[in-house]
Amino acid sequence: MARITKEQVEHVADLARLAFTDEEIAVFTKDLGDIIAFAEQLNELDTDGIEETTHVLNIANVMRPDEVRESISREEALLNAPDKRDGQVRVPNILEG
């Protein structure tokens, strides 16, 4: 059973640009080791004859068919726009020029 090391936790923290104290590293090392050990218990299960699944529930595509339908006009879409010009919604500048 592979255990996670302090160096591995520090490496992952560095990749994620996270800074931890030595105490936090120790806690994460223990906690992640416990999580990995628990997950490794799944390797002990006999899964012969079990059909693979991608989801625990039988879910079919719940999306509606993609159909071309009539849409509202640009003028109707802009009716409630607080500020508009040249067929577009005007918004405040967010970039300095």
Residue-level pLDDT at 90: 93
Rounded to 5, what percent of the chain is helix, strand, coil?
40, 5, 60
Report if pTM > 0.85: no
Left if phi > 0, otherwise alpha if psi is -120 to 50, otherwise beta: which for 46? beta
What is the pairing mode between strands 84-85 and 88-89?
antiparallel
What's the pLDDT score for residue 2? 61
Task: Round to whole Å and give the CA distance between 41 and 80.
Answer: 58
pLDDT at residue 64 in the model: 83
Q: What tokens does 72 get? A: 């509202």
In CATH, the number for domain 6-44 is 1.10.20.60
Q: Which two tokens stand for residue 45?
A: 């299960």
pLDDT digits (tens), the chain, 97 positions? 468 999 999 999 999 999 999 999 999 999 999 999 999 998 899 989 988 887 778 777 778 888 999 999 999 999 999 999 999 999 988 887 6
- For the chain, the structural domain boundaries read 6-44
Are the beta carbons of 90 and 83 closer than 8 angstroms?
A: yes
How far apart are the C-alpha atoms of 21 and 6, rounded to whole Å?
A: 12
